[in-house]
Amino acid sequence: MIILPRLGGAGAPAEATDAATGEAAAPDLPWATIVHNDPVNLMSYVSYVFRSYFGYTESMAEKLMLDVHHKGRAVVSSGSREEMERDVHAMHGYGLWATMRQD
């Protein structure tokens, strides 16, 4: 015999709603770690950090490093707030300028 969970009814979880509008609340948005260009670190070092910390391939690390260099910043990781706090702290440990934001 297969027992399936009940759907709906009194035991079903209530859908989250916005108290002001009564509409369904948006799911939690992911956070992003952003590395900014700086006048100190060499491009080869930034690429090395991306490969060693994040495990990016050489080509991906190079692409992100060039975004940092030419555009002034690049999103290098995304996930939960706690994960991005860890990544930002790690980038600071490598001497890179990094911030986080919620997307």
Domains and CATH numbers, the chain: 39-98 (3.30.1390.10)
d(CA 51, CA 58): 7
What lies within 8 Å, CB to CB, of 78 at 6+ separation is 30, 31, 32, 33, 84, 103
d(CA 45, CA 55): 14
DSSP code at position 37: -
User: Would you give per-residue pLDDT tens digits along the chain (103 residues)?
Assistant: 444 444 444 444 444 445 555 555 446 799 999 999 999 999 999 999 999 999 999 999 999 999 999 999 999 999 999 999 999 999 999 999 999 999 8
Q: pTM of the predicted model, to two decimals?
A: 0.73
- The token pair that represents 36 in the structure block: 């900014």
